Structure 1
Amino acid sequence: MPSSHLRHPHPLPSIAHTKPPAANDDRHAMALVCPDKFRGSATATQVSRRLADGLRSGGYTGDIMCMPVADGGEGTIDCFVAAGFATAEATVTGPLGAQVTARIATRDRIAVIESAQASGLDLVTATPDNARRATSRGVGELIKYALDLGFRDITVGVGGTASTDGGVGLLQALGAHFLDRTGHPIPGGGAGLLQLHHVDMTGLDARLPDARITVATDVTNPLTGHDGAARIFAPQKGAENSDVTLLDAGIEHFARTMVPRVLTAAAERPGAGAGGGIGYALIGACGATRVSGADAILDLLHLDEHMSRAHLVITGEGALDESSLAGKAPTAVAHRAKSHGTTTVAVVGRCSLVEKDWRTAGFADVYELAALAGSLEASMRRTSELLIEAGRSIALNHR
């Protein structure tokens, strides 16, 4: 970084610094701060506040608007709360059967559900037994709760779940029955799916056909197979190789058993494997539409409207890597900012992308906390202070 740009004794180095283009003459000086969470060290709201603190301490004199973002996983409800949405609470079934309190966000006629609030991996310990037992029932209970409140436009953020049950638990909560050969309900969780013999969908909530349900997810995996829900995501939930095989076989058996009632093509639809199969249950049985999680959330937050008034956008996440390029929140933000002619910089815990890739994604600068702290572990311990330092350096480099 050229020394002429440094006005602070300890500036945070970006991976590469490029002087931004001048803002449009009719655009008021405003920085829009819209990061995702830094998993394990800071929520998106905390990240945005610390970056704003750093901008101010670095001498930034324009307006600063903080708008935390998400892509459908953990933290989705928090970003809507920060944007002024109301919330409603419900007691629902957690991933292992115990009751948990979960929130939904509401505004006008829209309800937003975060699957991780009811069936989140953060609610359990990632063990093989828990990976086999975890259920999505609580997500279905949240959908029923939203319907009970009168909402018919429902967005379900699908990510960060503990379950790999094909969405059976969700459908059970909405009135479907999944029975074994003796006519008894199958056990909860993905491990019980191989016992499935009979499906009865006649009791499925009659309000669903009149509802507009949107599945918001940043993954496009199918339900089963090499790239399916079990093989790709169950190991993150504690499943070992034998568990992965069992879970994949179970949800494949479930999909085959559903053939008379649900189009078989639904299992291959992009996003069917999201949330351990929650995507499949919603798309196949509830008539839901799958969209990019980040784009759906940015639309609901009216981000473009605010972005059109900004001359600088600051976004970020814990790790900027190949998966980020598949539509995660920061790259979705950068893409939209580019269409507005607005400079975008990213602040991340670590970056494994080469400069060509992150520039192509739309970032003028990338500030990496791990590089300043000396290691990712050290940066996670000092996230708050490093975010302030990042904001300070951005203020100095992008006036």
Structure 2
Amino acid sequence: MQVEPHRRVVLAPDKFKGTVPAARLVEAMESAVADTSPWVTAAPLPLADGGDGSVASAVLAGWSSVVVRATDALGAPVHAPVARLDRRAIVEVAAICGLGARRPTPADARKAGTFGVGEAVAALLDDGADDITLALGGSATTDAGTGMLRALGLDLRDGTGRALPPGGAALDRCARVDTSALHPGLARTRLTLACDVDTPMVGADGSAEMFARQKGADDRTIAQLSAALSHCAPLLEDAFCVRGARARPGAGAAGGLAWAGLLLGGRIRSGAEVFLDLLGARDQIRGADLVITGEGRLDEQSLRGKAPVAVAEFAAALGVRTVAIVGSDRLGPQERERAPFTDVVSLDRIDPGCARDPELTRRLVYQATRDLLQTHLRPAAPLRNGAAQ
């Protein structure tokens, strides 16, 4: 009697943004593994790369979730989850000043701010946290992080001595910068800026030019925000004695919030790498037979270090193959050659309706997982009949 060798598959998808969170994708994949063979063990590893879902990933890795009171991008009150582990904390920017389901206008884009992020950081500092990670994806803001800095004690005024109103557009009137009242806890805190973009804060490919349109800005507003950020950047860099941070790759993440973090002495890291470390990915992947990852849209931006590509490169270094299930595959032939996946299944080629139907997406992920297991593990044991739970 032939005995099927034991196999282990790591299930490491990122969210399908706007459709299915990573944890629910893992559930569908686990059902597929359970229905495929008794000799295959699933190791769940839902991913995040610094966007929405970052706190949930940390909680699944054993961190605690606490709620802080803050304000959202337009000043409304919000109760935001923050992950805590001893003196460490993770603040998810998208949960505080993210786009969510909002359809912002140009006026919103001009005044949206990050004050709530600073409120959350201040609360954590007051509670003894001294190692804080800002998960920077998914913001609705382009204020260069000045809202966060002001919540932490920075004073910004115009030429008449009046305090500037919130938002990025007002920064073109910035004339005076006072750092004397910054929160004292910042001096003893390690600040990590987790992001998945390499955009600088200002320039032809700066944060306003690259991301403000999806936050409600029109052409006129993009130009206004770009000019305002370019005006305020040297003033604040002089005040913080930090030179050239505005041109650093990644400084433009979250509308320049990463740049503000650099002024505070923070360090930019790939969001995917931060969360792979946090989740103990090395121990999970080492010795596995296959990694199954995925995201909603696989495109050129994915190749710049988003979670599925990062986990595939991580696995390759450990000698483990990675396959991907994606909502849509937008890579061209040359880009596909650079992608570190053994195989890619694009769900919209099976049923285009999946982009609007979370339950359909989950069923397709279940079936794609079964197909990939059959193709890449070739189990000797016959498949069981079953459906996603």
Task: Provide the TM-score with structure 1 as the length reference.
Answer: 0.89
Q: Which residue is 1:167 aligned to?
A: 145
Given that 1:58 and 1:391 are in contact with CA atoms closer than 8 Å, whether structure 2 keeps it comes out as no
Given that 2:34 and 2:40 are in contact with CA atoms closer than 8 Å, whether structure 1 keeps it comes out as no
Out of 180, 190, 195, the residue aligned to residue 173 of structure 2 is 195
Given that 1:58 and 1:393 are in contact with CA atoms closer than 8 Å, whether structure 2 keeps it comes out as no
Q: CA deviation at 1:48?
A: 1.2
Out of 264, 267, 286, the residue aligned to residue 246 of structure 2 is 267
Q: CA deviation at 1:380?
A: 6.0
Q: Which residue is 1:290 aligned to?
A: 268
Q: CA deviation at 1:55?
A: 2.1
For 1:44, give the aligned amino acid: A
Out of 292, 297, 318, the residue aligned to residue 296 of structure 2 is 318
Q: CA deviation at 1:359?
A: 5.3
Given that 2:289 and 2:320 are in contact with CA atoms closer than 8 Å, whether structure 1 keeps it comes out as yes
Given that 2:156 and 2:164 are in contact with CA atoms closer than 8 Å, whether structure 1 keeps it comes out as yes
Written as runs of structure 1 = structure 2, the 5 A alignment for 1:241-252 is 241-252=219-230
| Residue aligned with 1:367, SS | strand
Task: Tell which deviates more after alignment, 66-75 or 236-245.
Answer: 66-75
Written as runs of structure 1 = structure 2, the 5 A alignment for 1:172-191 is 172-191=150-169
Segments of 5+ residues of structure 1 without an aligned counterpart are 1-22
Name the CA distance, whole Å, in 2 between partners of 1:356 and 1:240: 32
For 1:270, give the aligned amino acid: P
| Residue aligned with 1:207, SS | helix
Given that 2:348 and 2:354 are in contact with CA atoms closer than 8 Å, whether structure 1 keeps it comes out as yes
RMSD across aligned C-alpha pairs, in angstroms? 1.9
Q: Which digits, 9 at most, give the CA deviation of each residue in 1:290-313, with x for residues without a partner?
A: 111111111111111111142111
Q: Percent of counterpart pairs with the same letter?
A: 39
2:46 aligned with 1:46: no
Q: Which digits, 9 at most, give the CA deviation of each residue in 1:85-133, with x for residues without a partner?
A: 1111111011100100111112233211111111101163221111111
Out of 57, 65, 74, the residue aligned to residue 43 of structure 2 is 65
Q: Which residue is 2:84 aligned to?
A: 106
Task: Provide the TM-score with structure 2 as the length reference.
Answer: 0.91
Given that 2:291 and 2:322 are in contact with CA atoms closer than 8 Å, whether structure 1 keeps it comes out as yes
Name the CA distance, whole Å, in 2 between partners of 1:118 and 1:88: 14
For 2:315, give the aligned amino acid: A
Segments of 5+ residues of structure 2 without an aligned counterpart are 378-389
Q: CA deviation at 1:353?
A: 2.0
Name the CA distance, whole Å, in 2 between partners of 1:159 and 1:178: 25
Q: CA deviation at 1:209?
A: 1.8
Q: Which residue is 1:388 aligned to?
A: 366
Given that 1:373 and 1:379 are in contact with CA atoms closer than 8 Å, whether structure 2 keeps it comes out as no
Q: CA deviation at 1:354?
A: 4.4
Task: Tell which deviates more after alignment, 355-364 or 94-103.
Answer: 355-364
Out of 89, 96, 109, the residue aligned to residue 67 of structure 2 is 89
| Residue aligned with 1:188, SS | coil
Written as runs of structure 1 = structure 2, the 5 A alignment for 1:10-29 is 29=7
Given that 2:237 and 2:245 are in contact with CA atoms closer than 8 Å, whether structure 1 keeps it comes out as no
When residues 176 and 368 of structure 1 are mapped into structure 2, their CA distance, relative to the original with a 3 A threshold, is same
Q: CA deviation at 1:195?
A: 2.1
Given that 2:33 and 2:40 are in contact with CA atoms closer than 8 Å, whether structure 1 keeps it comes out as no
| Residue aligned with 2:184, SS | coil
2:261 aligned with 1:279: no
Given that 1:35 and 1:44 are in contact with CA atoms closer than 8 Å, whether structure 2 keeps it comes out as yes
Q: CA deviation at 1:145?
A: 1.8
Given that 1:124 and 1:130 are in contact with CA atoms closer than 8 Å, whether structure 2 keeps it comes out as no
Name the CA distance, whole Å, in 2 between partners of 1:247 and 1:60: 57
Question: How many residues are matched?
Answer: 373
Given that 1:156 and 1:214 are in contact with CA atoms closer than 8 Å, whether structure 2 keeps it comes out as yes
Given that 2:105 and 2:217 are in contact with CA atoms closer than 8 Å, whether structure 1 keeps it comes out as yes
Given that 1:163 and 1:275 are in contact with CA atoms closer than 8 Å, whether structure 2 keeps it comes out as yes
Name the CA distance, whole Å, in 2 between partners of 1:313 and 1:359: 19
